Amino acid sequence: MEDSSIKIFIDEKTLQAKVKELGGLITKDYQGRTPVLVAVLKGSFIFVADICRHIKVPVVFDFMAVSSYGSAMVSSGIVRITKDLDTNIEGRDVIIIEDIIDSGRTLNYLIKNLEARNPKSVEICALLDKEVPRKTINNVKYKGFEIPNKYVIGYGLDVAEKYRNLPYIGLIEEE
């Protein structure tokens, strides 16, 4: 995927080291438990695939798809569930696996939605957290990188469904 307008922002090695570190923290915290990893599609599919292999306790996978962006690079502000969980999470330890927090609307909505199902616990694992003016998301327990308020792509993240397969986090250079 040669695209001269893309600049590497977080390279593959740095990314993988952080993913491993986060997996290690989860392993330590969830000894004796079997958390449900709830990955938020589509953006988190690569992150969850990588981090789960560093989590050395049994896990159960489930997926939720929410849509808030359409194909534009600006949030529409509307969160909609397009695919719900298959698992009953009542009484379970849930870890939401999210690619990136921007306005925080998606996560705030998800936390409320999942907590209404009476899980034992809900924690958040987010790879990227954008420095944008907003209320902080109530304790993101596992956080990868804080990044400036720029649109990033790769490692699951897209622009209009493109670039998700880049092994690094990239920036699209302004013309």
What residues are annotated to the active site?
Answer: 102
52 Cα distance to chain centroid: 13
Residue 66 β-bridge partners: 81
Contact of 97 with 125, CB cutoff 8 Å? yes
Rg (CA), the chain: 16
Nearer to Mg ion, 99 or 129 (CB): 99
Alpha helix stretches (DSSP H) within the chain: 12-29, 45-51, 105-115
Residue 144 binds Mg ion (CB under 5 A): no
Nearer to Mg ion, 117 or 164 (CB): 164
Nearer to ligand IMP, 13 or 151 (CB): 151
Residue 43 binds Mg ion (CB under 5 A): yes
Q: Which residues in this chain contact ligand IMP in the complex, by CB under 6 A?
A: 40, 43, 68-69, 75, 98-106, 151-153, 157
Distance CA(7)–CA(172), nearest Å, equals 6
Nearer to ligand IMP, 105 or 143 (CB): 105
The pattern of x and - marking residues 148 through 167 that bind Mg ion according to CB under 5 A reads --------------------
Residue 129 binds Mg ion (CB under 5 A): no
Distance CA(31)–CA(171), nearest Å, equals 37
Select from ligand IMP, Mg ion, none the partner in contact with residue 152, using the beta carbon and a kind-dependent cut-off of 5 to 8 Å: ligand IMP
Residue 99 binds Mg ion (CB under 5 A): yes
- Among 158, 127, 97, 153, which Cα is nearest to 17's? 127
Distance CA(82)–CA(64), nearest Å, equals 8
**Options 98-106, 115-123, 128-136, 138-146: segment touching Mg ion (CB under 5 A):** 98-106
Alpha helix stretches (DSSP H) within 52-152: 105-115
* Residues contacting Mg ion: total by CB under 5 A: 3
Residues in touch with Mg ion (CB under 5 A): 40, 43, 99
